[in-house]
Amino acid sequence: MTRERILVIKLSALGDFVQASGPMKAIRKAHPEADITLLTTRPYRGMGEATGWFDAVWDGGRPDWTDLAAVWRLIRRLRAARFDRVYDLQTQSRTIRYFQLLWPRRPAWSGNAPGAAFAYAGAERDRLHIQDSQREQLRIAGIAEVGPPDVGWLTGDAGRFGLTAPYALLAPGGAPHRPAKRWPAARFGDLAARLLGQGITPVVLGHGAEEQALAETILAAAPGAVSLVGQTSIADIAGVARGAALAVGNDTGPVHVVVATGCPAVVLFSRDSNPDLSAPRPIRASQPVTILREPDLADLAVDAVWAAVEALRSL
């Protein structure tokens, strides 16, 4: 008997990949005997393989539209695979175009492409949180049970950092091209000093020279804080988060990873992103996650964040 061939599309980014982990797991559970391939991009190939939910992972999912040869290679590969069903968890204009280019033999497609067998599009979809939207998308395709994000497969070596409990994770960074999503590093420094005053070691996460500079600002304000900037893989972040008392961070991919481990968290949003659509959510009812939003994060006072931290610690 020929195994059903299924394609799951999730190209990026880190936070979105984490949010989609619940649907990915649900797809595998709904098709236990199928041959399932993940189409993604190079940064997420290892994560896709680590989940254990896919029989194959392809990382060439986002060729530049100006590179017609690369686009055509991808379309030919998709056609040759003869997938029976596609779950498009990216649902962007790019993946709609993939659906269109697969004419005349299009697989049963779940997504927002016009003409898809399991079409889910429209204004209502765009007003939903991504987890609710993907849950409804899969319901339409016949998958009724979709759980929260699952990063149990991210198992880094947290012990090698020698952290002593209690400690709190701080994530002061974010995408370089979206600086408005960052709470000022000096405020993180003030917060770190208050944590030290309560006997909690602040541990700064991040990568790259720019976030190293943020960590230096924090450590200057709070001697005794620890910087792990540039030292952690995504799996390491998950491992460290499982031992943390709490976390405070901007709306960034690593914060989505932290929250998905079950770590209590305060997450900071500016006008640059809408928590109603994309905020990390608790993975269980007992996990406190507080969302603070200020149009300009420069206007978010340390006292407000500290009050949220204290309220979280009292639960």
What would the 3-class secondary structure string for 53-110 be?
A: CCCEEECECCCCCCCHHHHHHHHHHHHHHCCCEEEECCCCHHHHHHHHHCCCCCCEEE
10-63 pLDDT, tens per residue? 999 999 999 999 999 999 999 999 999 999 999 999 999 999 999 999 999 999
What is the value of pTM for the model shown?
0.95
Q: Which fold has domain 5-140?
A: Rossmann fold (3.40.50)
Averaged confidence pLDDT in the chain: 96
- Identify residue 118 by its one-letter amino acid code: F
202-251 pLDDT, tens per residue? 999 999 888 999 999 999 999 999 999 999 999 999 999 999 999 999 99
CATH code at 158-313: 3.40.50.2000
Place of tokens 């559970």: 29
Angle ∠(95,101,103) on CA atoms, nearest 5: 125
Q: Which secondary-structure segment (H or E) carries 203?
A: strand 201-204
Of 227, 186, 179, the closest CA to residue 206 belongs to 227
Residue 91 burial (C-beta neighbours within 10 Å; 0-12, 13-18, 19+) = buried
Q: What is the structure's pLDDT at 279?
A: 97
Confidence label for 1 from pLDDT (cuts 50, 70 and 90): low
Q: How far apart are CA 78 and CA 102, in angstroms?
A: 8
When computed from its CA atoms, the radius of gyration of the chain, rounded to whole angstroms, is 21
Q: How far apart are CA 258 and CA 274, in angstroms?
A: 19
Which DSSP symbol is given to 301?
A: -
Q: How far apart are CA 42 and CA 58, in angstroms?
A: 8
Q: Where in the chain is the domain with CATH 3.40.50.2000?
A: 5-140, 158-313
Cβ(270)–Cβ(295) below 8 Å: yes
Q: How far apart are CA 120 and CA 112, in angstroms?
A: 5
Q: C-alpha distances in angstroms, 153 versus 25, 122, 220, 235, 249? A: 11, 34, 35, 8, 23
Q: How far apart are CA 292 and CA 289, in angstroms?
A: 10
According to DSSP, the residues that pair with 225 across neighbouring strands are: 223
Tokens (6 digits) for 271: 């006008």
Q: What is the structure's pLDDT at 179?
A: 86
